[in-house]
């Protein structure tokens, strides 16, 4: 189990490092992490399924203001590993992903404090125009934060896999069934959180169009996504060919203001 835990920890650390180093390229998203964990543990199909499933949960997990959302990177990695290594169902793992991500989010908050101990040294490098030294400090601090990000999944998998397996075998079916039901609800909660942020009167019609296509026309999610993508392309070129009425009206109002002040 040491090798499997180490592989997952390396994947988590690398995904975290690349995401921040290249400016948020979304390598920490569940669909990416779950696929990589599944590939490393020899079950790519399960990894893709878990990644896509957990993506639904964390759709609305956005860091706004002082809110600290659940960490999708660690939550997906640990839960996907448990599904593959212990035989846990995806629905049961979904109930595990949220608390795991919340715990890791708190650990991340502590890791953000760590770079502050080097502020004095970094200031001295800047004052002495030591560009290379400053650059290496950025690399080192990000490396340490990535290491901390990978440590928790390693310990959770290495120390907790056998315990989780024993606990799941001991629990009665009514409890595991409850986990499955709760896990199925979490996907709807993720969508609801996302919808709450983007909901407007202008966009409401698209929601009901998607609901109609899925419910009454039995079009799968992929088909609805492709239809939406094609509509965006048509809408883009239609708007591109139209004159900019907003700009013209804005110019007109500014001219009226200038005439008013000229009088």
- pLDDT, tens only, 56-99: 777 766 665 455 667 888 889 988 998 898 888 777 777 777 77
Largest CA distance in the chain: 87
pLDDT at 245: 45
pLDDT at 9: 93
Residue 63 region by backbone torsions, left for phi larger than 0, else alpha for psi between -120 and 50, else beta = beta
pLDDT in tens, 145-203: 899 889 888 988 887 766 655 665 666 777 666 655 665 666 666 667 667 777 788 88
pLDDT at 201: 80
Tokens of 68: 């600290």
pLDDT in tens, 217-255: 889 888 888 998 999 899 888 887 776 544 544 444 444
Residue 216 has pLDDT above 60, yes or no: yes
For Cα atoms 77, 151, 114, give the angle at the middle one, nearest 5 degrees: 120
Q: How many CB atoms lie within 10 A of CB 150?
A: 24
pLDDT at 40: 93
Q: Which of 7-11, 65-69, 209-213 has the highest mean pLDDT?
A: 7-11
CB 12 within 8 A of CB 149: yes
Distance of CA 31 to the CA centre of its chain: 9
3-class DSSP assignment, residue 105: helix
pLDDT at 116: 78
- The more confidently predicted of residues 179 and 32 is 32
Closest CA to 61 of 221, 204, 186, 200: 186
pLDDT at 207: 85
Question: Among 22-36, 108-122, 174-188, where is mean pLDDT lowest?
Answer: 174-188
pLDDT at 230: 92
39 exposure class (CB count in 10 Å sphere: 0-12, 13-18, 19+): middle
Torsion angle, alpha carbons of 32, 191, 103, 162, to 10 = -60
Residues contacting residue 148 through CB under 8 Å, at least 6 positions apart: 107, 108, 111, 114
Residue 26 region by backbone torsions, left for phi larger than 0, else alpha for psi between -120 and 50, else beta = left
pLDDT at 167: 60
Average pLDDT over the chain, rounded to an integer: 79
Q: How many CB atoms lie within 10 A of CB 221?
A: 11
Residue 1 has pLDDT above 80, yes or no: no
pLDDT at 36: 95
* C-alpha span between 222 and 216 (Å, rounded): 16
């Amino acid at each position: 189990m040491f090798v499997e835990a180490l592989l997952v920890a390396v994947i988590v650390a690398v995904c975290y490092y690349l995401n921040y180093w290249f400016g948020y390229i979304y390598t920490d998203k569940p669909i990416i992490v779950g696929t990589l964990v599944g590939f490393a543990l020899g079950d790519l199909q399960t990894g893709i399924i878990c990644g896509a499933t957990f993506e639904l949960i964390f759709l609305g997990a956005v860091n706004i203001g002082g809110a600290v959302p659940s960490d999708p990177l660690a939550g997906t990695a640990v839960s996907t590993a448990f599904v593959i290594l212990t035989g846990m169902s995806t629905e049961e793992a979904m109930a595990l992903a949220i608390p795991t991500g919340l715990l890791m989010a708190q650990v991340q908050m502590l890791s953000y404090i760590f770079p502050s101990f080097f502020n004095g040294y970094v200031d001295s490098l800047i004052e002495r125009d030591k560009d290379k030294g400053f650059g290496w400090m950025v690399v080192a601090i990000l490396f340490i934060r990535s290491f901390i990000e990978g440590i928790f999944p390693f310990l959770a998998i290495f120390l907790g896999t056998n315990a989780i397996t024993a606990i799941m075998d001991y629990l009665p079916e009514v409890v595991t069934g409850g986990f499955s039901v709760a896990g199925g609800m979490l996907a709807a909660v993720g969508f609801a959180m996302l919808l709450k942020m983007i909901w407007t009167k202008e966009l409401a019609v698209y929601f009901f169009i998607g609901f109609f296509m899925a419910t009454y026309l039995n079009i799968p999610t992929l088909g609805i996504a492709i239809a939406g993508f094609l509509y965006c392309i048509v809408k883009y070129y239609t708007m591109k060919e139209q004159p900019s009425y907003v700009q013209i009206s804005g110019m007109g109002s500014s001219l009226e203001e200038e005439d008013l002040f000229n009088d």
